[in-house]
Amino acid sequence: MSTVYEKPVLTVVDPERFGAVKAAVERSFSTARIAEFFRSLQRAGIRVRNFEAVLSQGLLGAGIREQYAQLGNGDQAQIRELYLTSLEKVSPEIREEFFRLYAYY
């Protein structure tokens, strides 16, 4: 018996705040801004997978940390998943250029 996993659809409790935080994440990982975003991570000494540190340093934009904090647990989880999924979709060339941000040491 073979079953295909289907990701469940989760409803967003606070669409306005969720949309603002989601847009900030998407903007940071856009082709036009990714190198600038990664340089800011380098300057701050933050690994790319450390979402909480990225958020606390304000690297996703002004006020995003506060908006994220006001989201419910489910909405926060969806944002974290979006962030982690986005960083895995970064082009190999950019990942190689910023190798140290992705390293686990």
48 in Cβ contact with 38 (< 8 Å): yes
Record the pTM.
Answer: 0.86
Boundaries of every domain in the chain: 15-102
**pLDDT confidence tier of residue 105, bands split at 50, 70 and 90:** low
Helix (H) or strand (E) holding 75: helix 73-88
Each residue's pLDDT tens digit, 46-68: 999 999 999 999 999 999 999 99
Each residue's pLDDT tens digit, 75-89: 999 999 999 999 999
Give pLDDT, residue 1. Answer: 60
**Residue 78 vs residues 19, 44, 64: alpha-carbon distances, Å:** 11, 25, 15
Average pLDDT over residues 20-32: 96
